[in-house]
Amino acid sequence: MTELRHLVTLVGELEGRPARLDKLRLVAEWLRALPPDDVPTAVAFLTGRAFTASDPRVLGARGLPEAAAPAAGPPLELADVAAAFAAVAEAQGPGARRAREERLRALAARASDSERDVLRRIIGGEMRTGVSDGLVLEAIARAAAAPVEAVRRAALLVGDLATVADLALRGGAAALAATAARPGVPLLPMLAEIARDFDEVLAAHGGRTALEYKYDGARIQLHHDGARVSVWSRRLSDVTRSLPDVVGLARGLGGAPFILDGEVVALDPAGRPLPFQELMRRFRRTHEVEALAREMPLAIHFFDCVMVDGRSLIDEPYDRRWEALARVTDGAHLAERLVVEVADAARAFFARALAAGHEGVMAKDLGSPYEPGGRGKRWLKLKVAETVDCVIIAADRGSGRRRGWLSNYHLAVRDGDGFADVGKTFKGLTDVQFAAMTARLQALATGDDGYTVRVRPEVVVEVAYNEIQKSPTYPSGLALRFARITRIRDDKGLDQATTLAALRLLYERQFATKGRPEP
């Protein structure tokens, strides 16, 4: 069995090797030397996950408790850590929090200082070694002497690098080639790029495109093999128990075995979409689910069919997949859709989507295949982005490709004579801007704990967001969802930044078209 210290050694070597090829070689050699039974756990830990991506369990821990004494007991193995994490995740009911802390404290007591550091990184979900999932994928191919494209396609179909590594290192290229989409195994969802206008869309799609409402809900993948129904989230978590109404709907559909792609939206009593944050209550609930389902009904909007009658449609064009979807659903529960050839018709459809309380529209190339995990111009999204002017009050040190930069910015709005946190973002700047912003913020530093640098409020940035949410985390009570910097506003002083009062008004304004959550 593999001892945790070997992972610690690898992490140290990866941190000391900035060159990507060196990192690739180190990871491939490490994977090749692992006992087969340790491969899935090792890949999960290396990519900053307590569990494999296809495992629905959530650790539910804030961090690793301190252990004052030196490490005691036999050396920790990866299997020991996996067993401890499983016990933490499975702790339920009264006293669960104490049980989790005691189990993690016992784990920390057996670990050395360097092992505790790596455990904290896994629990925190970020290894900070500069090793991306893409690099791990290439390392799997090298370790198994398999074609990179075979590993990549298997990863798209399985959606879990740990499972792919297990297949590749046990069965090589033959096992990878035999991988196929199958009900019960979630695929990475196909993604879209942002478009600026409908002229750009029509040019990209050859003068004809299919528009669909872009619902402000949660992506789901619905699997039915004829006996069992399973529902998977965008992040490939199993949410079947939380969505019994979706399961019931699936049992009434034909075409099984099938895999459908869609979006669920929470509705208020008047049938208007509720904010995304309210919908997440449904996804997190595992007890008294039926009561919440009655209190907060869901609308489901299907927009793609990846498999029907047990036949994969991944490589079929979008228009044929839509035809199959219409047959499976008998035309019900489909996304609002219109095929257009002129920009004026597209703009009218876009206006209808916004008036109905939705985010905007999706535009899809009628001839495009389904590309699990792919993002490109075959699917485009258009929406109205709201912006506010925030002040950067702190920044976290970057990792991976952003190592050496201050690149995760703490955003705040004005609140009287001070500033109120409303979120963080690492999105929106170019590499050149990251480097310049790092130098600028370091000159404004007022405190540094080794990870976060507090800065004197001075830099104002324009921030786009999808929605303003209630937040139990920030004293402001609000948080920007999907915040991203659109401009550095050197033309604005602190007195021109958005105020907390103004942000509260923007929060209220959202309910002109959305349903309001219950208090």
Q: What is the mean pLDDT of the chain?
A: 90
Q: Which of 355, 383, 411 is the last residue of a domain?
A: 383
Is residue 78 over pLDDT 90? yes
Does residue 500 sit in helix, strand or coil? helix
Please enumerate in sequence order all residues whose Cβ is within 8 A of that of 367, keeping only pairs 6 or more positions apart, or say none: 206, 317, 318, 319
Question: Confidence band (pLDDT; 50, 70, 90) for 506?
Answer: confident
Please tell me whether residues 419 and 494 are part of one structural domain.
Answer: yes
> Does 207 reside within a domain?
yes
Closest residue by Cα to residue 267 from 10, 495, 514: 514
Is residue 2 over pLDDT 90? yes
> Does 519 reside within a domain?
no
How far, in Å, CA of 134 to CA of 137, rounded? 5
Please report the pLDDT score of residue 104 as a whole number.
94
Please tell me whether residues 157 and 87 are part of one structural domain.
Answer: yes
Tell me the two tokens of residue 282. 């449904």
Mean pLDDT of 135-150: 96
Least confident of 51-60, 129-138, 441-450: 51-60
- The tens digit of pLDDT for each residue in 22-67 reads 999 999 999 999 999 999 999 999 999 999 987 878 888 878 988 7
Please enumerate in sequence order all residues whose Cβ is within 8 A of that of 325, keeping only pairs 6 or more positions apart, or say none: 260, 302, 303, 304, 305, 334
Is residue 261 over pLDDT 90? yes
Please tell me whether residues 101 and 35 are part of one structural domain.
Answer: yes
Q: Which residue has the tokens 């195994």?
A: 185
Q: What whole-number percentage of the chain has pLDDT above 70?
A: 99
Least confident of 14-23, 55-64, 410-419: 55-64
Best mean pLDDT range from 58-62, 122-126, 257-261, 458-462: 257-261
Phi/psi for 340 (5° steps) reads -125, 155
Is residue 519 over pLDDT 70? no
What angle, rounded to 10 degrees, do the helices at 39-46 and 161-177 form? 130
Please tell me whether residues 375 and 390 are part of one structural domain.
Answer: no
Please tell me whether residues 450 and 475 are part of one structural domain.
Answer: yes
Tally the domains of the chain.
3
> Does 187 reside within a domain?
no
Active-site residue identified among 23, 214, 364, 381: 214
Least confident of 132-146, 243-257, 276-290, 454-468: 276-290
Is residue 69 over pLDDT 80? no
> Does 182 reside within a domain?
no
- Cβ neighbour number for residue 472 with a 10 Å cutoff: 6
Please enumerate in sequence order all residues whose Cβ is within 8 A of that of 281, keeping only pairs 6 or more positions apart, or say none: 292, 296
Please tell me whether residues 429 and 498 are part of one structural domain.
Answer: yes
Please report the pLDDT score of residue 224 as a whole number.
96
Q: Which residue has the tokens 């016990």?
A: 87
Q: Which of 177, 207, 238 is the last residue of a domain?
A: 177
Please tell me whether residues 99 and 244 are part of one structural domain.
Answer: no
Please report the sign of the dihedral spanned by the C-alpha atoms of residue 346, residue 463, residue 129, residue 36. negative
Please tell me whether residues 417 and 368 are part of one structural domain.
Answer: no
Q: What is the CATH number of the domain that holds 96?
A: 1.10.3260.10
Please tell me whether residues 147 and 109 are part of one structural domain.
Answer: yes
> Does 290 reside within a domain?
yes
Three-state SS annotation for 336-387: CEEEECCHHHHHHHHHHHHHCCCCEEEEECCCCCCCCCCEEEEEEEEECCEE
Q: Which of 351, 383, 415 is the last residue of a domain?
A: 383
Please report the pLDDT score of residue 457 as a whole number.
93
Please tell me whether residues 329 and 401 are part of one structural domain.
Answer: no
Question: Confidence band (pLDDT; 50, 70, 90) for 8?
Answer: very high
How far, in Å, CA of 274 to CA of 511, rounded? 9
Q: What is the CATH number of the domain that holds 478?
A: 2.40.50.140
**SS percent in the chain: helix, strand, coil, step 5:** 40, 25, 35
Tell me the two tokens of residue 207. 């003068």
Please tell me whether residues 468 and 407 are part of one structural domain.
Answer: yes
Give yes or no: 214 in active site: yes
Q: What is the CATH number of the domain that holds 203?
A: 3.30.470.30
Provide the residue range defining the domain that includes 326: 197-383
> Does 134 reside within a domain?
yes
Mean pLDDT of 268-288: 77
Q: What angle do CA 77, 83, 87 make, to 5 degrees?
A: 150
> Does 45 reside within a domain?
yes
Q: Which residue has the tokens 């001070």?
A: 418
Best mean pLDDT range from 178-182, 363-367, 371-375, 462-466: 363-367
Is residue 322 over pLDDT 80? yes
Closest residue by Cα to residue 354 from 242, 276, 273, 429: 273
> Does 166 reside within a domain?
yes
- Single-letter amino acid code for the residue at 181: A
The secondary structure of 257-309 as a DSSP string is SEEEEEEEEEB-TTSPBPPHHHHHHHHH--SSHHHHHHHS-EEEEEEEEEEET
CA 347 to chain CA mean position, Å: 30
Please tell me whether residues 126 and 138 are part of one structural domain.
Answer: yes
Q: Is the peptide bond before 186 cis (omega within 30 degrees of 0)?
A: no
